[in-house]
Every structure is written in C-alpha cells, then in structure tokens.
Amino acid sequence: MSGATGAEAPAPPGAPSQARIAARAVARSAAASARSLAAHAATAGRALARFAAPVTGVVSTTGWLVLAAAAVSLVVAWAFGWIEFAFLGFTLLAAVLVSIGFVFGRMHYRVGIELQPARVVAGERALGRLLVTNAGTSASTPSRIELPVGAGLAEFVVPALPPDGEHEELFAVPTHRRAVIVAGPAVSVRGDQLGLLRRTVRWTDPVELFVHPVTARLRPSAAGLVRDLEGEVTKTITNNDISFHALRAYEPGDALRNVHWRTSARTGQLMVRQYEETRRSQLILVQPTERDHYASDDEFELAVSVVASLGVQVIRDATRLAVLTESLALRTATPTALLDDTSRIEPSRRAFPSVRDFVREATKRLPPPSVVITVAGSLLPVADLRTVETVFGPDTEVIAFRAELGAASRITRIAGTTVVTVGDLSELARLVRRVRP
C-alpha cells in the first residue's frame, strides 16, 4: 500500500493561490479607503473654501499672481541662498500687506440707474444717468463705481459725500446697432491702486435699453394681402360658419342649434346644416436666422427690419399674428412688445436641418393660417423657400421676402410662391402695396 494517502492533494493547475487572493482583497480595501478619504477630503476642502471665501474672494487675479511670485522667490532664496530673491519675495509680500488697509471701510450708498429713453431706434441717441446718494449718518470716503454697459465697462470716481449728499454722472449709451443693451449692476469697488485686493458691493439690478430695428411705415392698405382673403369661402366643410353648404343626417354629438327642423319634420329624421368654412385673417411671419443664409450682418439687419415693419402694421390692423424665429416666439400683443422682442433676434447656427423643418416645427401648434410670410437672406435658395408651401394646405397663401442688400427690388412669381426681393428698406412700402395673393 502507498503511504501517500494522508498527504494533501496538489492544487489543480491554474487555480489562484491563497496569497494572491489575499493580496487582491487588500488592494480592493485600500482602493475603497482611498476613495472614501478623497471624498472626505473634497468635502472638507469645499467647506474650507466656503469658510474662507470672504477673505480669498477679496484677492484679485493680480494679487494671487503676486503671492505666487513671492512664494517662489522665497523658496529660491532659501534653496540657493540668493539674497536678491529674498528681497523680491519680501517686497511683494509687503505690497500685499499694505494693500489690506484699502479694503476696509463700510459704504452706505443708495444708487440709481436711469436710461432715457428706455426704447430707441438704432442710430438714435440714448443717455444714462447714475445717481449715488450717501445714505449714512457720516461722511463717506472716496470710492469707485463700476457700471457694465453692454459689452463695455464704465468707471466713475465718487468723491467724499456728506450725509444725504448726491453725486451724479451722465454717460452715453452706444445705440448704433439693434440690440438689448444691459446697464448694470452698479458695483462699488474698494481696493489699492495696484489692483491686488478688491472688495465689491452690488447696489442695483441690471436695467435694459431696447434698441429697436429701423422700420418702414406701411399704409393700412398695405395689409391688403391679408384682407383680400378675409371672408373668402374655402372647400373645407364645417359645422359652424356663415356660408351654408348642405344638409346631412344627424349624428350623436351634433349641436341642436344646427338642426333644420322643417326638413327634419318632412323627412322624418333629424337633419343638420353643414357650412363651407370662410377664411379668417391669420398671418404667420417667420424668419429663418441661420447665419449662412445671409451675405452680411447688414443684410441680416435688413431682414429683421422687414419682419418688424410687416409685423407692426399687421398688429395695427388688428389681424391675428404669430412671429417666429428658430429661438424666439415673439410677443404680438402690441407693436412695442413686438419691437422689444425683435431687438433680441440673433443669428443662429444649424438649429434645424432645413427651413421646411423649422417652419413645420414652429407652426404645428398654431391654427391654420391664411397667409404665411417667410423673410430670409439672399443666400437661401429659392427652392428651399418653396418647400414651405408643402407644410400648409392649399388654402394657405405663401409669400417669401428675400433681403438682398443693394439689389433691385422686384416681385416675381415662382410656381405657387410669390417672391419679393427687398434691396432697400425704403422700397418695402411700395412692394407690399403691389403684393396680392
């Protein structure tokens, strides 16, 4: 008999050893501990940053650079024994320490911003007024007020003011282009002249100035392109209208007011009236704002002016109107509301695959229109403009306005679409008078 019956059987080939299994368990535990420690460290760091924010927030970018340069200089001086770097490091630290005294002090201001007028046409003059009042019980120290105006930044020096003392500053607002210019918030700044430390206090909310597009004054008769369709009978059959079409048998759900009782008594069954639907003025004005559709920024502004001019006149004629771009559904309650929103129209980049997709998506929740006007740039092919026809039914008239700066203004008819080329805004009134569905 063999004596090997009491010995352990050898491990099968490829089986992991106990030492390897233990090492993997230790590695996983160490990794989990490291992740937990990192999470706790991150939480503690965020809490410390919030606690130190009132202090660290005062240090400007220049101040942090100076502190970093001072630290590097002192390390180099200690490592290599270069006294020059030690002198530089201590000088930079002294500059930061001296600047601390400039951020202390409390200001009790009452600040107001006024823009006159609040709405202008592009190119008109607009002025702003900044009024600073010392609302404290003691004289204030000199300070500086920063006021963002559009893309710029205006700075005003406020002298020492006695209690209830006022300081007024006037400034011009650039209005040469259509835009919504935001003035504010007004911020007082305390700090040193080198800009190492900077403490700010916000005093006002932003104020908006609407720079409207230039518009052409259209005569009320110019809206005839909509009025000519008012009351026109269509082939659509409806249960409520004024143009009688025929009688049909009553169906559950029909309104009793449409029952024709005389015919019902003669035939022995309920008969109800049917009507042909008549058109009601509903105009949709759309502007594709894709930047590639316009030859220049001035051409884009011409297109916006065409939209604003048409929209304002349609609102004045009390016609139902919807004005749409890729990013905006403009308000049409009043001409002022529409012009305010046209100030916000900006070029877009590939918001929709095509003009047809844009028009279909933008108008799918609107009632069927009688007229659709598309205003686009000269680089948009006419074939793409014609695809708008396929979004609507045969009872909808589609008109396209093409802004082509400097071109001869003209009206052409391509298949079922009227194309109006506008080379100058002054020609718009004449062109609209000649457009008839």
pLDDT of residue 256: 78
| Residue pLDDT, tens place only, 214-237 | 999 887 744 455 544 444 444 454
3-class SS of residue 189: strand
Given pLDDT bands bounded at 50, 70 and 90, which one contains residue 121? Answer: very high
Give dist(CA 155, CA 153) in Å, integer. Answer: 7
pLDDT of residue 232: 44
Is the predicted pLDDT of residue 276 greater than 50, yes or no? yes
pLDDT of residue 2: 45
| Residue pLDDT, tens place only, 63-108 | 899 999 999 999 999 988 888 899 999 999 999 898 888 887 778 8
Q: Which of 14-18, 154-158, 207-211 ranks highest by mean pLDDT?
A: 207-211
pLDDT of residue 10: 57
Distant-in-sequence, close-in-space partners of 133: CB < 8 Å, separation ≥ 6: 109, 110, 111, 112, 161, 164, 165, 166, 167
**More confident site: 113 or 102:** 113
β-pairing verdict for 187-191 and 410-414: unpaired
Q: Which of 6-15, 63-72, 381-390 has the lowest mean pLDDT?
A: 6-15
Query: Is residue 283 within 8 Å of 320, Cβ to Cβ?
Result: yes
pLDDT of residue 379: 93
The arithmetic mean of pLDDT across residues 354-383, rounded, is 90
Please state the domain extents for the chain: 31-102, 109-212, 233-278, 281-434
3-class SS of residue 36: helix
Burial class (CB in 10 A: 0-12, 13-18, 19+), 148: middle
Is the predicted pLDDT of residue 207 greater than 90, yes or no? yes
| Residue pLDDT, tens place only, 18-47 | 777 777 878 888 888 888 888 888 888 777
CATH of domain 109-212: 2.60.40.10
The arithmetic mean of pLDDT across residues 423-427, rounded, is 93
Distances (CA, A) of 60 to 45, 48, 197, 221, 246: 21, 19, 5, 62, 81
Give dist(CA 227, CA 282) in Å, integer. Answer: 10
Q: Which of 41-55, 331-345, 421-435 has the lowest mean pLDDT?
A: 41-55
> What phi and psi values does residue 40 have, to the nearest 5 degrees?
-65, -40
pLDDT of residue 193: 80
Given pLDDT bands bounded at 50, 70 and 90, which one contains residue 126? Answer: very high
Query: Is residue 17 within 8 Å of 25, Cβ to Cβ?
Result: no
- Percent with pLDDT over 70 in the chain: 87
Give dist(CA 355, CA 391) in Å, integer. Answer: 11
Given pLDDT bands bounded at 50, 70 and 90, which one contains residue 269? Answer: confident
User: 281-434, superfamily in CATH?
Assistant: von Willebrand factor, type A domain (3.40.50.410)
pLDDT of residue 229: 44
Query: Is residue 160 within 8 Å of 136, Cβ to Cβ?
Result: no
As a whole number, the mean pLDDT across the chain is: 84
Token couple for 38: 């990192």
Query: Is residue 234 within 8 Å of 241, Cβ to Cβ?
Result: no
Query: Is residue 338 within 8 Å of 330, Cβ to Cβ?
Result: yes
Q: Which residue has the tokens 């092919």?
A: 381
Token couple for 289: 């704002």
For the chain, give the number of residues: 437
| Residue pLDDT, tens place only, 159-190 | 989 999 999 999 999 899 999 999 989 998 88
- Percent with pLDDT over 90 in the chain: 40
Q: DSSP letters of 244-308?
A: EEEEEE--TT--GGGB-HHHHHHHSS-EEEEEEEEP--EEEEE---BGGG-SSHHHHHHHHHHHH
Query: Nearest Cα to 404, choosing from 417, 421, 418?
Result: 421
pLDDT of residue 19: 76
